[in-house]
A and B are shown apart, each in its own frame.
Chain A
Amino acid sequence: MTLLWIALLPLLGVLVPALTERRGRRFCSLATGLLPALALWLTLSHLPALADGETLRFAVDWIPALGLDLAFRLDGLSVLFNLLILGIGLLILLYAHYYLSPDEPFGRFYAYLILFMASMVGIVMADNLLLLWLFWEMTSLSSFLLIGFWSRQSDARKGARMALTVTGAGGLALLAGLLLLGDMVGSFDMNVVLDSADVILADPRYPVMLGLVLIGAFTKSAQLPFQFWLPHAMAAPTPVSAYLHSATMVKAGIFLMARLHPAIAGSEMWSVTVTLVGMATMIYGAWFALLKTDLKGILAFSTVSHLGLITALLGIGSPMAILAALFHIINHATFKGALFMSAGIIDHETGTRELDKLGGLRRAMPVTALLMTLAAASMAGVPLLNGFLSKEMFFTETLETGLFGGLGWLLPLLATLGGVLSVAYSLRLVHAVFFKPAKAAPPKHPHEPPRLMRAPVELLVALCVAVGLFPAVLATGLMDLATRAVLGESLDFHLAIWHGVNAPLLMSMFALAAGITLYMFHAPVRRFVRQFGTTDARLIFEGSVQRLVARSQALTGRLENGSLQRYMGLLLGSALVLATLGLIELPQLAGSRPEAELDGVLIFGAALLIFGAVGTVVTHRYRLISLLMLSVVGLVVSLTFARFSAPDLALTQLSVEVVTMILLMLALFFLPQKTPRESSAHRTIRDIALAGALGMVVASLNYAVLTRETESISRFFLDNSVPGGGGHNVVNVILVDFRGFDTLGEITVLAIAGLAIFKLLNRLRLFMPHSDGEGRIWSPDRYPMILTSVSQWLLPLALLVSVFIFLRGHNQPGGGFIAGLVTAVALILVYMARGVEWTQNRLDFPYQPVAIGGVAVATLTGLGSWLFGRPFLTSAFGHFKLPLIGEFELATAMLFDLGVYLAVVGATLMILANLGKVTTPHRPSKDTQPAPSKEKS
């Protein structure tokens, strides 16, 4: 359980800066440090158990269906990294407290920093591949936030974006690799994976998996060819560079390679790739570190170089090489952390990081000079410092590995070259800053930093020296734990300064001598190199990003040019292609079911439908006639439903048809009466072909379905309608009971459509014609007498009918939908016969609340079933007896249906009555001026 706390405490710590920021920086810094310190203490408290050879594990299910568990482990490797992450993290916190200027949002900075710390702890403790990946992505995101912390600087934004792109893309590759790995093993559990090396190596997908995982690791650890993002990430504040980009995050890739080493490293492919990439990166980084003039730039490239060194050791992969790699991880973290922080101090106190502007600082900042010199000496591999020990071990391994057979001499040669270069750039770093006389005075007058700002550097340098002097005492225990976690067994080793005069020592001495010589002649070297001209990785990256954006925009512009006609054409075209592909797969169009007999009525009906549809198209430029043709289609469709045993549908279609036609007529009043002829013949032909082809596809599909036996799930509804829903009209029972949730959704949509239309009509100014399309003046007889009197008679009758239809709906054709539409039609008839004004005076209430109330009633009915401990929308019913009336049935479904009824009435009238109002001074407008300018024309 404490394992969970180690991982969770930093995560909780993200909130602390936000909560304490207002209490001042000192309080906030202290409070922020508390939880990580606690996590560090918890980690240390497990050391005795680990020394006994245990691996501590903790797991709870998180998303079992994906194989993702909240599983943590603590073994030697995790402890080693936890010490780095939490320990250096705390030092960085202290340093940042002094580094950030007073007006910067330190709370936000701390929160990002702690978020990053929590993600790193998550990575090194994850006991599940997917969980590991999750934290991996979190480090990419938090590093993006940290690099871009000074978001006003273009450099910071671009650097952050580049880092996110590269590490994020690597993260995706890693996810693919880990999924493959999990699939090979059959589990995402780390223990299972680590024990399954045989299975993994034998799997044919091994090379792909290895490639993907290595891409993930190489991007994160800035190995060639993905190294370019790291130097640009130096736009971040120096505490971030020290923490993320030298001590921890860039080691995540190395951690991953070490963690998975037992499982995936046992192949020649691994050794060759990883060793070569590591070696190449080491030389590349060291060479450019020598050429840079920016203090942080030198350190960035030297980090790349050292990461390459560690990678190469992991590639060599012998037990002693693993030990050397792990040892160099902590050594590098200590001396590089100290160097970065010193560089930050120099920047902070002098105002510049350019080597050309610095010099002679030895006098102004003697303590910093000493600290930085020691750290740089460690980096160069000077004896009696920790860097020397691991570099010596590296030289030994390059000599002893059997890789590359006859070309085996290559590795020691390259290693020595790397050593020479690292001596040269370390020397240059220290000499140029502290000892060389200054060419010009720095922007600020230099002096020593605050005592506590230097403390983290002092501590780290002390560690460098102490470990360098007494490696056996100080490092053996931790190294033993860590190597055991990777190798699975204890390694018999002895860390010592003096191994006698042997080849590695000679290599070291040669590197020192040659490095010093190289530095003395480095000015001509730099002049020579300068002729080649450099390419800035950032320019290339930004250029390719911009090209990509431009191309995407061009493509989008071509697809999406703002023309609805084009969208429709593309949509229908692709639908045609997909549907045709589907049809081709059918073995034959006709199924086994025989066709039913045709009769005269059917043929006549079909002919009418076809006549109406074709007529609508042919006359579409004369809109009123086209609309009349459309109404023929609607009416015959309604008859078709009646013919094929669907009276509910026929009733609904009929009433909707009436409402739709009134609506379209009303709308047509405001729109041009004729459509101009503007489509070219070419376009018309194209549209006819497209529509015709789709029509044929629809017909074929319909025919294919109709001639096949169907297996309907409706048996269930038929069987359960009476016992379960208490109704004999199965269609209505499905609507209000079985699929009540769908119906609730649909009346909600209806009400929303009504509301949207209400808003659209608001302040609408339209030209109102005073004559029809042929120029005839509208009839002065606006409200014909016969219609007026008939409608007055009809209204109560129609309302009575709708009540009747509503009440019988559960057992006979009818129900809320149909009753609502009938009521709406009856009311609209009154509007038409008497005019909006007359009706408005008598029916003076808005329809919006009716529609919303309907939805509310239906929802509340559904919620009501919760009161009885049943799921949402469970219906209940019972039979009751009243004198005179006899037995009748009441169901909660009826209440639901009432909601449907109200929603339909409200929405329909909201649409039509509001549209009708546009024709009158009652138009829904806040303008008092009733005459829009266009009417004057």
Chain B
Amino acid sequence: MESLYAITTGILAACGLFLTLRGRSFPVVVGLTLLSYAVNLFLFSMGGLTSNGAVILDGNGSYADPLPQALVLTAIVIGFAMTAFAVILAMRARGDMGNDHVDGRQMDESREERR
């Protein structure tokens, strides 16, 4: 199970990173989102993977490690804020530059792209 989990995290990270290396803003934002999934899964697993663990303190049972969960919970919300900021920045860049290239160069899109 652990190896499958690790491989999945790795593939998610690789896909996300590949997209962040693209030249247009939207795929980069998608890539960042994908990467943050991978990172969250990675961080989450730092406390070990607990199946059927108790979540609420009731005096018995094996508990899932709460600390990574708390960290990842805030990470998810912050990740959303980051994605939102990046995508709005991309929109703004397109509005000001006339194209959605990440390098922020001033050039006009060709006509068929605009449709």
A residues lining the B interface (CB < 8 Å): 562-565, 568-569, 572, 593, 595-598, 602-603, 606, 609-610, 613-614, 616-617, 620, 623, 626-627, 630, 633-634, 637, 640-641, 643-649, 652-653, 656, 659-660, 663-664, 667-668, 670-672, 674-676, 678-679, 687-688, 690-692, 694-703, 705-707, 710, 712-714, 717-718, 721-722, 728-731, 734-735, 739, 742-743, 746, 749-750, 753-754, 756-757, 760-761, 764-767, 769, 771, 775, 811-813, 817, 821, 904, 907-908, 911, 915, 937
> Chain B's nearest CB lies how many Å from the CB of A145?
40
Give complex CA distance A915, B83 in Å: 14
**Which residues does chain B contribute within 8 Å of A697, judged by CB atoms?**
10
Task: Pick the contact of B73: A623, A760, A817 (CB < 8 A).
Answer: A817
- A617 to B15, Cβ gap below 8 A? yes
B67 to chain A: closest CB distance in Å? 5
Contact call A710/B47, Cβ cutoff below 8 A: yes
**CB pair A646 B64 closer than 8 Å:** yes
Are A565 and B21 neighbours in the complex by a CB distance under 8 Å? yes
Report the separation of the CA atoms of residues A6 and B77 in the bound assembly, to the nearest whole angstrom.
Answer: 58
Instruction: Please state if B94 and A671 are interface contacts (CB–CB under 8 Å).
Output: yes
Q: In the bound complex, how far is the Cα of B28 from the Cα of A626, in angstroms? A: 12
Residue on A nearest B75 in the bound complex, by CB: A746
Interface residue from B23, B54, B82, B92 paired with A678 (Cβ < 8 Å): B23
B64 contacts A764, C-beta separation under 8 Å: no
A-B residue pairs, 6 tightest by C-beta: A695-B14, A699-B10, A645-B53, A703-B6, A645-B64, A691-B18
Residues of A within 8 A of B23 (CB): 565, 678-679
8 Å CB contact of B6 from A563, A645, A702: A702
Q: Are A630 and B34 in contact (CB under 8 A)?
A: yes
Cβ-closest chain A residue relative to B24 = A675
Interfacial residues of chain B within 47-84, with CB under 8 A of chain A in the complex: 47-58, 63-67, 69-70, 72-74, 76-84
| Residue contacts A-B, CB under 8 angstroms, 26 given | A562-B105, A572-B17, A595-B1, A596-B51, A598-B1, A606-B4, A637-B37, A644-B49, A644-B51, A646-B69, A656-B79, A667-B90, A670-B91, A671-B25, A695-B10, A697-B10, A698-B14, A705-B45, A706-B48, A710-B46, A728-B56, A730-B63, A731-B55, A731-B69, A749-B78, A761-B88
- Looking at the complex, which one of A659, A678, A710, A766 makes contact with B91 (CB distance below 8 Å)? A766
The CA-CA distance from A663 to B46 in the complex, in Å, is: 30
Shortest C-beta distance, A59 to chain B (Å), equals 46
* Interface contact B87-A664, CB-CB below 8 Å: yes
Contact B11 A671 (CB under 8 A): no
Chain A residues with CB under 8 Å of B51's CB are: 596, 643-645
Q: In the assembled complex, which residues on chain A have CB atoms less than 8 Å from the CB atom of B30?
A: 616, 620, 623, 626-627, 630, 664
Neighbour of B67 across the interface among A691, A712, A753, A761, CB < 8 A = A712
B65, A765: Cβ atoms closer than 8 Å = no
Would you call A645 and B29 a contact (CB within 8 A)? no
Taken together as a complex, chains A and B put the C-alpha atoms of A596 and B114 apart, in Å, by 52
Cross-chain contact of B27 among A675, A713, A722, A760 (Cβ < 8 A): A675
Give chain B residues whose Cβ lies under 8 Å from the Cβ of A750.
77-78, 81
Contact of B9 among A688, A698, A729, A739 (CB under 8 A): A698
- Whether the pair A649, B45 counts as a contact (CB closer than 8 A) is no
Residue of A nearest to B37 (CB): A637
The CA-CA distance from A61 to B110 in the complex, in Å, is 70
Bound Cα distance A888, B61 (Å):
25
Cα of A230 to Cα of B10 in the assembled complex, Å: 62
Which residue in chain A gives the minimum CB-CB distance to B29? A664
Q: Which residue of B lies closest to A769 (CB)?
A: B115
Q: Which of A649, A679, A729 contacts B72 (CB 8 A)?
A: A649
- Nearest Cβ in chain B — how far from A917, in angstroms? 13
Q: A734-B70, A735-B70 are in contact. Are A562 and B19 (CB under 8 A)?
A: no
Contacts of B88 in A (CB 8 A): 667, 757, 760-761, 911, 915
Question: How long is the Cα–Cα vector from A721 to B11 in the complex, in angstroms?
Answer: 37
Contact across chains for B26 and A688 when beta carbons are under 8 A apart = no
